[in-house]
Structure 1
């Protein structure tokens, strides 16, 4: 695994736990974790359960004893690592967004397509697809219970950047992150909506804004070994992204991704309205799905709360008795479960790198629309 930060911790938890709750056809062995700082990487290896620690990702790509590389490092590193790993015959799990731009994402998708022909598999880490309520929502839509999809509303609201004196991080540097709220959390909204509806966003019209244009640099960022610094760095990504979208099935959607929604910590909300019904999901109530059936008698219509904890619901039978909820970390275990089964059973995993490229095209179109002032930008250009 490359990286030991937030996603490194979440993925490590998944690799540790999944084999104990799912009857996997292959046994994951947590061999090596890689980071740039030797001491911190060694500490992460001990904390998260990895047998070895390295500071050069090439060492794991070159190691014939390693079968899979899990990329949890910043976006600017994804392309080189993933392509090298696939060329070396390693399966690859890569965090989202796939890359920092369309050109790099296309190179990764091409490499993954060629590797797949050699039974080398790859997957993008859009973990929210594997929240049981979201997977169940996809099933409901696929069964036609919402009828024609007419409108989608998606919001991803956070507030961790509200303090203007909060320090610079790599997520605020476009060269490292590619974009701000748009790619960091907006990508999740795009993928989840496309996953649930089975449709693509074919054109978008967007607006981006940065509220705080410079922030204090951490001491270590300017070579002071953690000592406080008075230097400031330029914020080169968006703080908030808003866009409308046309769906391939003829519907329309509104999307909002912001890290300036004061008081909202991790509010990811999706509502889908169809001709015969509607669905609503809120990550802050991640074990629930609200469902409205327009075909009910008038006196019985209303959103019903479905507690997605029954054995019949996706993934849930592996965990706890009915009514006992799961948490944020569980979809990462579901991701491991599906990836391992796909590798063992010689299937191409989903979401694929091609799916990641498609999301990248939507991100790019939204950014170009905001920058150029265009009303609509097709996502296939």
Structure 2
């Protein structure tokens, strides 16, 4: 019989569902040395928590996260919470010797991120930060092609993460629109993904220049009981102040000499979850669009004269990263599959005592870039990292 690792999850909304699906599917499609067991789910409201646990197959429920993280039968703490709640749970889990699977962004500040990393290192626990887009087959293939020199020296990184879910001024003041619970707007939430991809594919960032803006300054107060991640209901006509930016633009210089741009907005009308990047190099180029996540665009200078042009690589072949564990070639996978890939790599890292990326050290580097962007937007000055 395979070894088992008991998982305790804290949080049961959008990310709680995505993570639960991943824990369940990982051993069904991948040959992993350890079987994750959905041991206990934790949340504040017992009735909805019980419904969640029964639906997704969690054996038990807890309403006290502090009790959950100290249970001797729990090996992994999965933090599927909004970012303002990550710090306290992660610190307690690490001190209790639990491995940590944490949703992004890592924390609310550099100081929190530094301490989270330090405590994990001191207690020798695995710490994974779930920037799941790294683990789509197309992005993983892009990394392989870059490492193989297929596009040569990188000159340009161009990235945009665009959504439109708060264009309506009647959309309520959810937790994502308040500084005390979200730290910032798309600069924190969306650009955290974008910066992680830039670090993964291009390299570390040296300098940051940024600007932010706010289009709607007041919104109806949200009914917290009816608020999900990208949906919400108001409690009436009472208005509250939006205390985060609605859009952010960053320009960066990478340490390797490449230059880059980042656009993050929730006001791109018609865009639902549109994450794109373009990488231009001396030998070729790569383009990715999350809304067409099974495809990677590739241009090669080495094609024969008269045959140059971007080609579409459909990353569903068995030789493509992760893809061979799913369906026959041409049968596409979706958003949720990258979470499964993360779980697979995470449990392998625990079993083999190997590195898992991105970890809290990577998360700290991302927070440093995001903080620099907010500082630059406030001061109008370029910030050196």
Q: Deviations over 1:96-122 (max 9, x none)?
A: 110011110111111122223xxx211
**Equivalent position SS for 1:28:** strand
Name the CA distance, whole Å, in 2 between partners of 1:227 and 1:309: 43
Offset of 1:205 from its aligned partner? 0.3
Question: Which of the numbers 61, 71, 74 marks the counterpart of 1:53?
Answer: 61
Name the CA distance, whole Å, in 1 between partners of 2:45 and 2:240: 22
TM-score, normalized by length of structure 1? 0.95
CA contact (8 A) 1:181 1:239 kept: yes
2:14 paired residue number: 6
1:133 paired residue number: 138
1:204 paired residue number: 208
2:275 paired residue number: 268
2:175 paired residue number: 170
Name the CA distance, whole Å, in 1 between partners of 2:97 and 2:291: 39
CA contact (8 A) 1:173 1:236 kept: yes
CA contact (8 A) 1:135 1:196 kept: no
1:15 and 2:20 correspond: no
1:369 paired residue number: 376
2:355 paired residue number: 348
1:332 paired residue number: 339
Once the two structures are overlaid, the 10-residue window that deviates more, 360-369 or 211-220, is 211-220
Taking a change above 3 Å as real, the CA distance of residues 242 and 275 of structure 1, as seen in their structure-2 partners, is same
1:182 and 2:190 correspond: no
Taking a change above 3 Å as real, the CA distance of residues 219 and 332 of structure 1, as seen in their structure-2 partners, is closer
1:82 paired residue number: 90
CA contact (8 A) 1:122 1:348 kept: no
CA contact (8 A) 1:187 1:363 kept: yes
Taking a change above 3 Å as real, the CA distance of residues 30 and 162 of structure 1, as seen in their structure-2 partners, is same
Q: Deviations over 1:347-374 (max 9, x none)?
A: 1211110000000000000000001111
1:122 and 2:127 correspond: yes
Q: What RMSD in Å do the two structures reach over aligned CA positions?
A: 1.3
Normalized per residue, the structure richer in strand is 2
**Equivalent position SS for 2:237:** coil
Offset of 1:274 from its aligned partner? 0.3
Tell me how many residue pairs correspond in the alignment: 371
**Equivalent position SS for 1:30:** strand
> Unpaired runs of 5+ in structure 1?
none
1:71 paired residue number: 79
Offset of 1:317 from its aligned partner? 0.8
CA contact (8 A) 1:181 1:258 kept: yes
Question: Which of the numbers 152, 175, 187 marks the counterpart of 2:157?
Answer: 152
Taking a change above 3 Å as real, the CA distance of residues 151 and 291 of structure 1, as seen in their structure-2 partners, is same
